[in-house]
Amino acid sequence: MIIGLALILLALIGAPLFSLFGAASMSLFMSMPEGTWASVAIDVFSAKFAEDPNLMTIPLFTFAGYLLAEAGTPQRLVELSRSWLGWMPGGLAAVCLMASAFFTTFTGGSGITIVAVGALLFPALMSEKYPENFSMGLVTTGGSLGLLFPPSVPLILYGIVAGLVIDKVLVAGILPGIVVVLALMVYGGYVGMRYGVKRSGFSMGPALQALWIAKWEVAIPIVLVGGFASGLLRVHEACAFTAVYVLFIEVVLYRDIDIRRDLPRIIVESMTLVGAILIIMATAIGFTSWMIQAQIPMQLLEWMESVVSSKLLFLLTLNVFLLVVGMLMDIFTAIVVVVPLILPMAYAYGVDPYHLAIIFLLNLEIGYLTPPVGINLFISSIRFGKPVTYLYTAVLPFIGILFIALMIVTYVPGITTVVPNMLKRDDDSTAQYIDKDAQRGAIGADAGLGGDLGLDDEDLGLTKEEMEELGLDPEDLGLDEEDLGLEAGDDEAQEPTDQPADEAEQPTGEAADQQPAE
């Protein structure tokens, strides 16, 4: 009790999040019968974290994103999008959405998109007579728009925590991400027509010229998706390729980055973000390990099954819960802490693991825009000098559009699962969760054990009638009639015999004739 009050006090005075997780983990483990303060470190230095080879993707992709943001990429992408999309209703709004989605893909919703792209396009939106409220909401929403596209860092982090195939996680969000962007583009087109925003004409010559100038950067997502789909690139090769490729084109080809003047600063800034992510992950993993040891996920599963009877209702409940999580936690902390809690429940209701990943991240994408800790709201407030309360009303229509897209993605799972299913990858990482009986463990759950007991008829030495007398159900132990030595359809089990083992039944007939003489 005292420790809990102390942690709350530390949180109120602004203690770093990782310190709160670390202190909570150690105190909770020490409260367990066989727990010690060192129990927190067991999973941190295991294959769940420190030994996971997928961790190397986070710093490399983040470094590539920072390079793109510091170079002239925002201007080239805006010009490219404008030359190809400017003729549409709400063309400049579509430009903002496309450019923002590209940048957030590499920066992971860290706020760089609002600074790099939003600051470039907000004055342009105002000059073309878009409403200020709409323009502010648009650039704020764009700050987290690319979280579902590869190689988004939250996608990779989710795959690590959930134990999924990273290649499949990265491509699972492509179609849902397109649905989200198209929904927002339709709304932008409506606003453009309503306020009579002028459209620029389309000219093939300037459009091709803009494409030629930005060709090296446009090729990045095409090469990555093509590499994943063809099997030529795995996520480890992809992250190294992307970092080296972006460094080469920005330093050698475009010459936007100076090796001595700019590169050291970019490395420090990008790795500072990576360090913050990793230290939160490390301490939060200790907290989630305690929750698993304390059987918290299984207790939640039992409670959920008692109040929610269908998959559709579960998905609705899950979305409401995740929206609340997005209001209170940043995306990286939420992934490490919340994902282990919802995995058993979602799999018990038959939710595809990659579908669950996209539902989770889309909810947290909305969380970037919701008070009280919606980080995009505070970044836009600082960058554009607007009160946070003003931004609350500016983003409301965009939250509504994102919620509609969320419902589509949630209740049409094929949008998410079709692309991962096309990849030829071995994937048995979630088999233990998909079997509800194995997850619940029947007797094992009551005894504090996960999964079935692995018993068969030889282990028990009991007949069906003897088990019934003891009040045992074979199904609770994961047994069937074959395990009990019964033929299908038998109504009675063999009666146990009192005959001693050394007085076995004597052979008869031909078998007796074949016995050797004494």
pLDDT of residue 456: 46
* Count of other CB atoms within 10 angstroms of residue 148: 30
| Separation CA 107–CA 270 (nearest Å) | 9
Angle between helices 17-30 and 263-293 in degrees, nearest 10: 20
* Count of other CB atoms within 10 angstroms of residue 93: 29
| Separation CA 54–CA 61 (nearest Å) | 12
Contact 381, 192 (CB under 8 A): no
pLDDT of residue 487: 47
Residue 90 phi/psi, 5-degree rounding, is 65, 35
pLDDT of residue 253: 92
Q: H helices of 329-456, where?
A: 331-348, 353-367, 375-384, 388-411, 414-422, 431-434, 436-440, 443-446
pLDDT of residue 221: 86
Which residues neighbour 321 within 8 Å (Cβ) at sequence distance 6 or greater?
A: 342
pLDDT in tens, 209-251: 999 999 999 898 888 888 877 778 788 888 889 999 999 999 9
Identify which of 466, 421, 424, 467 has the alpha carbon closest to the alpha carbon of residue 443.
467
| Separation CA 138–CA 484 (nearest Å) | 65
Number of helices (H), then strands (E), belonging to the chain: the values are 29, 0
Which residues neighbour 60 within 8 Å (Cβ) at sequence distance 6 or greater?
A: 239, 240, 242, 243
Which position has the token pair 């078998």? 511
> Could you tell me the maximum CA-CA distance found in the chain, to the nearest angstrom?
111
- Rounded to the nearest angstrom, the gap between the alpha carbon of residue 73 and the centroid of all alpha carbons in its chain is 27
| Separation CA 143–CA 100 (nearest Å) | 6
Rg (CA), the chain: 29
What is the 3 state secondary structure string of 385-422? Answer: CCCHHHHHHHHHHHHHHHHHHHHHHHHCCHHHHHHHHH
Identify which of 221, 218, 139, 149 has the alpha carbon closest to the alpha carbon of residue 184.
139
| Residues of the chain falling short of pLDDT 70 | 1, 3-4, 7, 10-12, 14, 17, 35-40, 43, 46-51, 108-111, 425-518
* Count of other CB atoms within 10 angstroms of residue 118: 30
pLDDT in tens, 78-117: 888 888 888 888 888 998 898 888 888 877 665 677 877 7
| Separation CA 32–CA 279 (nearest Å) | 24
pLDDT of residue 117: 79
CA distance to 167, 169, 249, 301, 355, per residue, from 421 (Å): 11, 11, 33, 27, 11
Contact 344, 439 (CB under 8 A): yes
Identify which of 23, 101, 24, 118 has the alpha carbon closest to the alpha carbon of residue 65.
101
| Separation CA 316–CA 314 (nearest Å) | 5
Contact 69, 107 (CB under 8 A): yes
- The amino acid present at 256, given as its one-letter code, is D
pLDDT of residue 449: 36
Q: Which two tokens stand for residue 353?
A: 């693991």
Region of residue 352 (left: phi > 0; alpha: psi -120 to 50; beta: else): beta
Output the CA angle 207-211-217, nearest 5 degrees. Answer: 155
pLDDT of residue 428: 59
